[in-house]
């Protein structure tokens, strides 16, 4: 479980190169059989933590004061990321890059939901695609690794 958590913390600290290296290694744990033990079963906890690294670390999804929030910080080599989440009985489809977030809410019931995108609160309703653009440049974080 160390690799995906190291990746998540490196992303949080702004060291995206290191975050991607740890993410890539954790992603390949079973695919490349790096511990030579896949015949005994896959590393499900590592797979779950790798998913968390992608969603929380790179896609920048958080829950803040009971609301969904997103501010992507993708590795430089990624053009975009696509994923879906279930949030309060709604399916939400995302297409993100570092400067733009597209969201489609597919509600179970009529209504809307609030979501914070790039720090600004928005209300979205069902079956439309909403596009939000980052207004300010991302601040470059310093790396505190030796």
Q: pLDDT tens digits for 64-121? A: 999 999 999 999 999 999 999 999 989 999 999 999 999 999 988 888 899 999 999 9
108 falls within a domain: yes
pLDDT-derived band at 140 (thresholds 50, 70, 90) equals: low
41 falls within a domain: yes
Residues 4 and 36 in one domain: yes
Q: Residues with Cβ < 8 Å from 9, sequence gap 6 or more? A: none
Axis-axis angle for helices 44-52, 16-31 (nearest 10): 150
Residues 20 and 78 in one domain: no
Cα dihedral 116→102→113→106 (10° resolution): -160
pLDDT digit string (tens) for 36-47? 777 777 777 778
141 falls within a domain: no
Residues 65 and 45 in one domain: no
| Residue among 22, 25, 12, 28 nearest 142 (CA) | 12
* Number of domains present in the structure of the chain: 2
CA distances from 91 to 7, 136, 143 (A): 27, 28, 36
Residues 18 and 35 in one domain: yes
Average predicted confidence (pLDDT) for the chain: 88
Domain hosting residue 17, numbered range: 1-58
The model's pTM = 0.83
């Amino acid at each position: 479980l160390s690799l995906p958590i190291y990746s998540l913390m490196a992303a949080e600290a702004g060291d995206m190169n290191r975050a991607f290296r740890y993410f890539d290694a954790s992603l390949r744990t079973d695919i490349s059989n790096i511990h030579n033990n896949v015949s005994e079963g896959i590393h499900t906890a590592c797979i779950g933590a790798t998913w968390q690294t992608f969603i929380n670390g790179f896609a920048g999804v958080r829950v803040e004061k009971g609301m969904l929030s997103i501010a992507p910080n993708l590795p430089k080599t990624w053009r975009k990321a696509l994923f879906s989440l279930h949030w309060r009985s709604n399916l939400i489809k995302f297409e993100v890059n570092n400067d733009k977030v597209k969201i489609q809410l597919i509600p179970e019931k009529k209504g809307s939901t609030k979501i914070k995108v790039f720090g600004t609160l928005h209300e979205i309703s069902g079956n439309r695609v909403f596009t939000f653009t980052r207004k300010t440049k991302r601040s470059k974080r310093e790396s505190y690794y030796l």
